Structure 1
Amino acid sequence: MGGWAIAVHGGAGVDPNLPPQRQEEAKQLLTCCLNLGISALRSSLPAIDVVELVVRELEIDPLFNSGRGSALTAKGTAEMEASIMDGPRRRCGAVSGLTTVKNPISLARLVMEKSPHSYLAFSGAEEFARQQGVELVDNEYFITEENLGMLKLAKEANAIVFDYRIPAVGLESCSAGAGAMESVMQMNGLPISIYAPETVGCVVVDSQGRCAAATSTGGLMNKMSGRIGDSPLIGAGTYACDLCAVSCTGEGEAIIRATLARDVAAVMEYKGLGLQEAVNYVMKERLDEGKAGMIAVSRNGEVGYGFNTTGMFRGCATEDGFVEISFDNN
């Protein structure tokens, strides 16, 4: 075993021209979460505890798309989903359609540990949350002014928004004219004031070689009510086993088709690839035209990541002192 390692992401699809203030806010949050995880690992917390701890912190902060700050459905509500997986015995828990649970990732863990099932959704998940006594809040808690603005633009453009992109026709309908829009700072064709974030996740291997993964999201902006993405689907957005742990972000439907997270473990096991080799292979060979990113750790204390979008917010650290916080290819 090569010691502990941790990686965290705040979503794929980041524009390289993201304003410096936004870059700094995201890096500060990732640094805070990474340090939280490092401290927990140095205190010998198991990997499964660390991934829950870190993702809870990301869910509380509205900067990224999970918990407070979740992307909104076409009805203007937040419907959240999350999953968690403990590698040693491949135990897992997942939830979808949450509207009042403050920390979806913790309910996912309770599904894993306190129910006979692996996945609960919508009213059944909410009822289980009440039975377990988790903290509940009104749906308005999750809704931010930025995301209300993003939803308005998405509706006017008749689009479901993934990784900050929207057809140009939508921008034209939201301005006094093309000339007016040219003077506004934009990111992937969107005004900065309606920036929309992406999924969060964390993967950890502890000093005992135990791997765990956790992923949480509000899904796509302007999604149909009831839509379920890759984040709560074990093997698609989240996977952990005795070899590695993986958390994905990006175009959910493409990640689902590719069973992206599980495939990393599969090519490590069946092709004998190393962690980064496996990530590179899966990103190149399994996504077709889909856009996504992932973070991963191995039981040997390695970290890896990959993305085919313009960027991916991420941070990682290993026991030997390596630390990185970045969002682009530099």
Structure 2
Amino acid sequence: MDTHYLYNLFGGNAWLCLSVTFVASWVIVWLYRDSLEIEAIADKYVFVTGCDSGFGNLLCKKLDRRGFHVLAGCLTEKGADDLKRLAGPHLKTVLLDVTNLDSVQKAMEWTRKEVGDNGLWGIVNNAGRSLPMGPSEWMTVEDFHSTLNVNMTGVIAMTITFLPLIKKARGRVVNVASVLGRVAANGGGYSISKFAVESFSDCLRRDINYFGINVCIIEPGFFKTAVTSLGPLERELHRLWNQLSPEVQASYGDKYLDRYIKVQRLIMNAVCDSDLTKVTSCMEHALTAAHPRARYSAGWDAKLLWIPLSYMPSCVVDLGLKLVLPRPSKSV
């Protein structure tokens, strides 16, 4: 970079010239460092959870094309069969329920045999669920547990169980959180679980970095997947509403449910991105980069709305959500 040109451009201000030169040089170095990739991909094994559909399914196909040995954990036999038909010879599937410790242990033993002395280069904890989701008062304790068991306990169980194999390969842990793990924008277990994934991943990264293991967090915005499908969401909201006592229903008002559903439709239709590769490209970078990032924000809404909003004072976030969500009829 021509510092003499910059010096003249900024009217002879030496400090400003030096500052711009430093920042520009730092950006160039960071971009170069970020572009460096690992070698010997064909010798590396990656285990992905939640591969029946969505991000996990697409990621497995991309990694298979890159030459990785892909081990795909699917919840259903149909999901496993469909994926195998569309993938290459280096992809194998196993049935996996991340909420069942016996299933997790069996998947680990199967993986140990597959990877042999190579160890496991990466695990992508992608499996998750969003429902039930709605006002917190509408939930039962069981409603919270059904989501936490998958999104939080499942991530922890998979990571801890597979960690010896990852440690052997000095590999990667890639945990899928969410922008709702930065901003708690709705009730139910989803935001709670994603905040937990963020915290668990940060603690894990600091605990095991001495062993050459990288821990990466993926923070997607809103994308069109089964998690954001309006049909199941609306059915769950009706179920939650119908299990409320008449007194609680009266406090919200007869029109509240309809208004709440209309807001959800508006958000999902206006914000949800159909390009899932924005997320899987982040996952792929976390697995293939020589120097992976600690966090990846995927989607324009994540970068421009949710992440900046997470740094705002609570009163600003509260006001913003209050302007979007409907108001109960008997609120003060």
Looking at secondary structure, tell me which structure has more strand per residue.
Answer: 1
TM-score range, shorter chain: under 0.3
TM-score by length of 1: 0.26
Looking at secondary structure, tell me which structure has more helix per residue.
Answer: 2
TM-score by length of 2: 0.26
